[in-house]
């Protein structure tokens, strides 16, 4: 039997995307899947689908704070969140970061996984900015990119090719029915199947005939 293609649409502004990303990274060599990272732009999806950030509702924001902490502990991902982080999200655009990640995906895809992870670490563990060029370059160096590659990718983020690629990926997610991120799409039995959120990975495994071994399988 061939490997099941699983696409992960994500944005580094989303802590739930980080949780789903890390778990799928752990399972990509355990399950019979071909995991494909699809960096998109959450802001574009929210705008085009009419969705609203869940933390805009005070009671839901109160719950999300507890929920993310519990899930971070369960999944063993170093998300460090406080009530102030919701305001940080509202006042931070991930567009430049996601264009940068897209540029790397187009030119040096072997760095896509560590680069994405370093953006999450910087924003969600270290509470540092990810929107300014100098901070983006710092993240790139932390991910192992040379100064030359880092600078070249930064210059690419304003190019039509990168902008179009990010837009196309975001549109692809919405064509599958995504209204937020993370959006996981399993291509199974000739059809795409959408699983929304980082708490549906056990269900994803069951659906494609794979066994869930816990959040951090050894």
82 a catalytic residue: no
* Active-site hit among 14, 17, 94, 116: 14
DSSP string, the chain: -PPEEEEEEE-TT-HHHHHHHHHHHHHTTTSSEEEEEEE--HHHHHHHHT---GGGSHHHHHHHHHHHHHHHHHHT------THHHHHHHT---HHHHHHHHHHHHH-GGGHHHHHHHHHIIIIIS----SSHHHHHHHHHHTT--HHHHHHHHHHTTSHHHHHHHHHHHHHHHHTT-SSS-EEEEEETTEEEEEESTT-HHHHHHHTT-----SS--
Residues forming the active site = 14
């Amino acid at each position: 039997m061939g490997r099941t293609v699983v696409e992960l649409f994500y944005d580094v502004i989303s802590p739930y995307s980080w949780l789903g990303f890390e778990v799928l990274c752990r399972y990509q060599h355990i399950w019979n899947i071909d995991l494909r990272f699809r960096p998109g732009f959450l802001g574009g999806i929210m705008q085009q689908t009419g969705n609203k950030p869940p933390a805009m509702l005070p009671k839901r924001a109160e719950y999300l704070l507890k929920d993310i902490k519990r899930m971070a502990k369960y999944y063993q991902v170093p998300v460090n969140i406080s009530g102030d982080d919701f305001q940080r999200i509202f006042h931070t655009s991930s567009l430049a970061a996601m264009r940068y990640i897209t540029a790397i995906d187009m030119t040096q895809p072997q760095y896509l996984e560590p680069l994405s992870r370093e953006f999450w670490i910087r924003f969600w563990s270290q509470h540092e900015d990810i929107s300014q060029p100098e901070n983006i370059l710092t993240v790139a160096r932390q991910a192992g990119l040379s100064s030359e590659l880092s600078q070249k990718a930064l210059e690419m983020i304003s190019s039509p090719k990168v902008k179009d690629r990010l837009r196309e990926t975001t549109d692809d997610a919405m064509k599958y029915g995504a209204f937020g991120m993370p959006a996981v799409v399993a291509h199974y039995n000739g059809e795409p199947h959408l699983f929304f959120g980082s708490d549906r990975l056990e269900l994803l495994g069951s659906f494609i005939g794979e066994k869930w071994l816990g959040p951090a399988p050894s």
